[in-house]
Amino acid sequence: MSEEKTEVRLVFLGAGGVGKTALIQRFLKDTFEPKHRRTVEELHRKEYEVGGVKVTINIMDTSGSYSFPAMRKLSIQNSDAFALVYAVDDPDSLEAVKSLREEILEVKEDKYTPIVVIGNKIDRHDERQVSSQDVLSTVEVDWNHSFLESSAKDNINVLEAFRELLQQAHLPSRLRPALCRRRETFPKESHKRPPMNKTNSCLIS
């Protein structure tokens, strides 16, 4: 059984322009910047005091470019849980997720590595090219990872994505409900998401 932690490191991986930075900024600041800005690598560090216990969440935002393989490998080696992000209007970005997953499993040498696959940009209804049901079947049945769809623009399932990542990164279960009740920690989220194969998720009270 994995040991619970009070400091966790999450890393967001995916092709360029799928919304990795947008998801992180929506979670941390509850803001959305529509203009795409190319990211090389940025580390966001947030500390919270919950019941006298200090919790540190490190979030690594990585480049969508494949020109930094050594940097990406180092991010994988040093992280506890992974968000693999694709855009529902870009089938090629889903292929990138498949390649990145293989790289993660190879670097970590553990098929049970915590991974959450996120299909972003569901606000682009008319431009969708990736079926949620097809991805759901692959991710949850074949890969045994968690899956959800999101919109950083409309703030759909951003909170749920981070909840799942923090749970899989073994944030102490006694702290998760307290964190989820803190408005400044988790921006309020009212939208529902597709079912996921997870348990013991915290709820906003």
Mean pLDDT of 54-83: 84
CB 114 within 8 A of CB 82: yes
- For the cut 80, the answer to whether the pLDDT of residue 200 exceeds it is no
61-74 per-position pLDDT tens digit? 987 766 667 778 88
What is the three-class DSSP state of 15?
coil
CB 186 within 8 A of CB 154: no
What is the three-class DSSP state of 191?
coil
**Secondary structure, 3-state, 103-144:** HHHHHHCCCCCCEEEEEECCCCHHHCCCCHHHHHHHHHHHCC
Rounded CA gap, 116 and 132, in Å? 14
Domain range annotation of the chain = 7-181
% of residues, the chain, pLDDT over 90: 58
The CATH number, out of the four listed (3.30.1310.10, 3.30.420.40, 3.40.50.300, 1.10.3470.10), of the domain defined by the range 7-181: 3.40.50.300
40 compared with 179, residue with greater pLDDT: 40
**Nearest residue to 27 (alpha-carbon basis) of 189, 147, 145, 139:** 189
